[in-house]
Structure 1
Amino acid sequence: MTLGFSVETLVPRARGSGSLRMGLTRLAERDWLQPDFDRAVRADAFDRRSDSVAMLPEGEAPGREAAAMIGTGGTLGDAARGVWEDLCVLTPGADGRYRLVGGAVAFPTDWRLSDKLGLALTDVHAPIHGYAEQLAAGVDHFMATLTPGMIFGRANWFVVPDPAPRWMPEGDPATRFAHVDADNAGETLFVRCERQTLRRLPETGAVLFTIGIHVAPLAALSDAVVARVGDAVATIGAGEHERRAAPHYAAALARYAARRQTRPEIAA
């Protein structure tokens, strides 16, 4: 199976609403990382922000191993310039819980590497409502039992008012979405997907976590995908509804999605 490398193919693979789940897909080596990408955009993102790369001492060796596996050599930061995906390495602490020990993250989705470095996975995911209760135990078990040579992928998505690969919103979400209405939602709302993969590094035993960002306006997506996103936003749990700023665009999205079902030409 494959996840593809576009919002259109990733959204159907991602959880919409309901209980949290990993939703993993087994990937072949050829489907691991995006084969073609804008290298200039990638390099510029790292050049602009020195805080995009951070490493604890215990992350140095896994970072070099990851770079060798990817084929760039050097450090984790070097490797992340040679692929579209952001790269993170995780190792188990004395308590067996996996911690984020290094990262090269040019395109974050509302998080800062400096805030997460050194934290266990449950703490890394603390802002996600329901993670500790519904998903933490399963993720910890998966991380502990992941076998070298196996690659797993998953996807998630967000609705945002900006197509930039780096998404670090500031200020009042009501202001960010104030310009959005049902008439312009196709051009002003964007679905931002994270294509995530996990694999164990055979020498150090660390886990390499990759995050590839893919963004598309609603107007560029099929009626089925727009309907799926609209339904998920309408039914997502209260805590996540707020975290994703959904109260500020959900009504416009729902009306736009409904129009697409009866007037598909508006996406043209």
Structure 2
Amino acid sequence: MSLGFSVDTLLPKARGGGQLRMGLVKLEEREWLQPAPDLAARAAGFADWPEGVQLTPEVDAPGRELAAMLGVAGALPEAALACHEDLCMLTKAEGEEVYRLIGAAVAWPSDWHPAEKIGLPLRALHAPIAGYEEQLATGVDRFMETLRPGPIYARCNWFIAATGERRWLPDLPPAEAFAHVTPENAGETLFVRSERQTLRRLPQTVAILFTIGIYVEPLASLSPANIIMLGKAVQTLVSGEGDRRGAPAYADSLIAFAQRRAA
């Protein structure tokens, strides 16, 4: 099973709802990053939001290793300018047992600020996600510890946003952000956002690279099967997760729109 490079191809591989899970698939090297990325959009994204680049001294060597792998000069920021994906680097400090975020080059975040996360261990990074500690933390820790250089693993997720912009930093409460959404206009006013995430360990520095490819489409542009899936999934989000995603503000409209597509 592989992953595509669009919302429509990613959604069938994403968790539909219910309990959290990693849902990893193994990729070939040729499937790792989006081919022919829009590098002008990447440059503009970082120019518009320079705070998306957060570096510690520890990320210099892994960043340079990654840049060389991508065939560009420089370190983590230059690597992020050369691909579609946002890049995060994690490693363990000597004497520690936990992985920490040591560098991030993120042009298109999904409701997070790298400056608030840099230096944090994995569990603290994921603290806002309802159910992570109980359902995923131990499995993620084990995966990170046993990941070896060579294999590439991937997963994807989805969010519903009130904007089609790739940089998603909500500045309004969900009730206000989705106030204009109705069952009649949900296809054009709700945007489905999917992250295509990959994980691999670098062979020389043995840091772990986490990439995040962002894809956004209006709800109505998706396949009927994906629209119906989202209408069902939004009803079964883990307790607390739906609130974090703002689901109560848009769920009724999305469900009604999906039911019409299924009729």
Query: What TM-score do you get using the length of structure 2 for normalisation?
Result: 0.98
Q: Unmatched 5+ residue regions in structure 2?
A: none
Task: Report the equivalent of 1:75.
Answer: 75
SS in 1 for 2:155: strand
Q: Distance in 2 between matches of 1:58 and 1:188?
A: 42
Read off the aligned partner of 2:37 and give its amino acid letter: F
The whole-number CA distance in structure 2 between the counterparts of 1:59 and 1:37 is: 24
Q: How far off its partner does 1:2 sit?
A: 1.5
Q: Which amino acid aligns with 1:178?
A: A
Shift of 1:72: 1.6
Q: CA deviation at 1:75?
A: 1.1
What is the Cα deviation at residue 38 of structure 1?
2.0
1:18-37, aligned counterparts within 5 Å?
Answer: 18-37=18-37
* Matching residue of 1:248: 249
Q: Does 1:39 align with 2:39?
A: yes
C-alpha separation in 2, matches of 1:33 and 1:97:
27
Give 1:117 shift: 0.3
Using the alignment, how far apart are the partners of 2:163 and 2:172 within structure 1? 14
Spell out, residue by residue over 1:7-35, the C-alpha distance to the aligned partner (whole angstroms, 9 max, x if none).
Answer: 01111111121111100000001100000
CA distance in 1, matches of 2:126, 2:111: 12
Q: Which runs of 4+ in 1 moved over 3 A?
A: none
SS in structure 1 of the partner of residue 214 of structure 2: strand
Partner of 2:195: 194
Q: For residue 96 of structure 1, what is the aligned residue in structure 2?
A: 97
Q: How big is the shift at 1:73? A: 2.7
Shift of 1:171: 2.0
Q: How many residues align?
A: 262
Q: Which residue of 2 aligns with 1:239?
A: 240
- Which residue of 1 is the match for residue 111 of structure 2? 110
Q: Identify the residue that residue 180 of structure 1 maps to in structure 2.
A: 181
Alignment of 1:3-14 (within 5 A): 3-14=3-14
Provide the C-alpha distance between the structure 1 equivalents of 2:186 and 2:99, rounded to a whole number of angstroms. Answer: 40
Aligned to 2:50: 50
SS in 1 for 2:235: helix
How far is the alpha carbon of 1:238 from its aligned partner?
2.5
Distance in structure 2 (CA, Å) of the matches to 1:77 and 1:204 = 17
Distance 1:120 1:236 in 2: 25
Percentage of identical aligned residues: 56
The Cα shift of 1:52 comes to 1.5
Pairwise CA RMSD: 0.9
SS of 2:67 mapped into structure 1 = helix
2: distance between equivalents of 1:233 and 1:37? 31
Q: Distance in 1 between matches of 2:200 and 2:255?
A: 37
Alignment partners' CA distance in 1, 2:234 and 2:96? 37
TM-score relative to the length of structure 1: 0.96
For residue 196 of structure 1, give the secondary structure of its aligned residue in structure 2.
Answer: strand
1:47 partner letter: A
- Code of the residue aligned with 1:111 in structure 2: it is W
Q: What secondary structure does 2:206 align onto?
A: coil
> Residue 163 of structure 1: CA displacement?
0.6
Alpha-carbon distance, 1:96 to partner: 1.4
Q: Is the 8 A contact 2:131 2:238 kept in 1?
A: no
Deviations 1:129-180 (A, max 9, x none): 0101111111111111111110000001100111100000012211110110
Task: Please give the alpha-carbon distance, in whole angstroms, between the structure 1 residues aligned to 2:181 and 2:36.
Answer: 32
